[in-house]
Amino acid sequence: MAAAAPVASQAQAVLRGRLCDPGFVHSALRSSSDTNYSKLKYLVASSVSEACNNSVLLLGPRGCGKAAVVDMVLEDLKKEHPDAISVIRLNGMLHSDDNCATKEIARQLCLEHQLSFSKMASSDDNTEFIIDMLRECGLAHKTILFILEEFDLFAQGKQRLLYSLLDAMQSLTSQAVVIGVSCRLDADQLLEKRVRSRFSHRKLLFVPSSLEDTQRLVEHLLILANDSGLPANYITDYNSRLPNIFSDKKFKGILKYLMVADATTSSILRFLFRAVSYMDMESGFLSMESFVKALSSMQRQPKMDSLQDLSILELYILVCMHRLEDKEQSSYNFTSIMKEYRSIQDAYKTSDKYTSTVCFRAFEHLLDRELISFGDSRGRNQALEYRPVKLLVSSRELAQSLKLNTTCPAVLQKLFDRERYM
């Protein structure tokens, strides 16, 4: 068993390297002609070879692989056309201001073509320089690719940058492709009429993967190849165990849960990275327990951890606040909570009876833990017990914490499970 640990560590390193390499994660896309990778590559490659202008939007939720596909296409095209492509990258979070964006484009063009860049140049000078470079690159049969990440942020304001780029691309001498990347599916609808008329209206939608596609991705990432640099007998033993895990109903249930919660590729990668981290180092193999622990660690919530550490009195206060909200009491304070608490004690004659001073300390502790908060910023000069408060814990979270708390009185659980109020 001890001898398996070094090999398991090597296997962990190989698997982690795969999971952190977007090229390997999405390499299966290269084998199909119907993927967004193939469509984008064809569009850009034809623009380069035929010396024409183009524009396209890649739309889909965050983490679905838009940026990875763009990087794969650029990597392939740079190998095929090493001297015919120049890449300019902008991000809407950094360069949504038109002046800042034109300055950054001019800086990257100067860097790409080994020209001197003037920080003192005006926005008009930079715009004129960009147009001149588009013309010169077009005459030299060199395509400039503009990658605009967070494209929707460029579509705010006067959209001068987008207009200038797309308008310059109307010239016969220019040779450029604009690739917009956005998580907003309506990004093209944000464009002004003058910009939209110059845009080619090509869109590639990245939709969440199906369960079958996700399972194929998991198999692609976890099955070790013979050239992984690991002992051949270990690779055989390791791979022989995986089909039993993949066919297990428990594993399929975990995948279904992940698909419902977040079906993006990045979410699956985070889950698999955790599973690999929970690899059994004694046996040196992945097991079902590795995936169960990975899911459990992803489901952990700081608020639930805080709820499990609460005292009985603090749970009473939270249940009282929940009952007051169920009674549609729009505003309540510590005094209202104490009235509800006393009514419960009088009705059930429990031994969990505390003085107002002790209850107030528990109330302050809940405020410190941010499980409850003040309703508004008004009344700061009021005493704490008279300031309106609100509950920051959902009904589901409170119900789960009561079930998990082994010291929770049966009457408190009963109060929560039955009618919300008496």
Average pLDDT for 170-181: 87
Name the phi and psi angles at 374, rounded to 5: -75, 145
Radius of gyration of the chain (CA): 30
pLDDT range class, residue 243, cuts 50, 70, 90:
very high
Q: Among candidates 276, 279, 299, which has minimal Cα distance to 20?
A: 276
Looking at every residue in the chain, the average pLDDT score rounds to 86
SS3 category, 174: coil
Average pLDDT for 147-158: 89
Q: Which long-range contacts (CB under 8 A, 24 or more apart) does 369-374 make?
A: 369/306, 371/303, 371/306, 371/307, 371/310, 371/318, 372/318, 372/321
Tokens 């590639």 appear where? Answer: 204
pLDDT score recorded for residue 421: 41
- Two tokens at 127? 């715009």
pLDDT score recorded for residue 108: 92
The pLDDT tens digits for 208-227 are 788 888 888 899 999 998 88
pLDDT over 70 at 379, yes or no: no
Round to the nearest angstrom and report the end-to-end CA distance of the chain: 61
Strands 389-391 and 372-374: antiparallel
The helix, strand and coil proportions of the chain, stated in percent and rounded to the nearest 5, come to 60, 10, 30
pLDDT score recorded for residue 300: 64
- Two tokens at 379? 């009344």
pLDDT over 90 at 274, yes or no: yes
- Two tokens at 170? 């109307």
pLDDT score recorded for residue 1: 44
Q: Among candidates 207, 224, 209, which has minimal Cα distance to 258?
A: 209
Average pLDDT for 350-360: 85
In 189-231, the DSSP E strands lie at: 202-205
pLDDT range class, residue 26, cuts 50, 70, 90:
confident
52 touches 171 (CB < 8 A): no
392 touches 370 (CB < 8 A): yes
296 or 31: whose pLDDT is higher?
A: 296
pLDDT over 80 at 29, yes or no: no
- Two tokens at 1? 């068993």
pLDDT score recorded for residue 41: 92
Walk me through the domains of the chain, giving residue ranges and CATH numbers: 4-17+210-299 (no CATH), 32-205 (3.40.50.300), 304-418 (1.10.10.10)
Residue 76, exposed/middle/buried by CB under 10 A (0-12, 13-18, 19+)? middle
The pLDDT tens digits for 79-132 are 988 888 999 999 999 988 888 999 999 999 999 888 888 888 888 898 889 888
Average pLDDT for 12-34: 84
pLDDT over 80 at 342, yes or no: yes
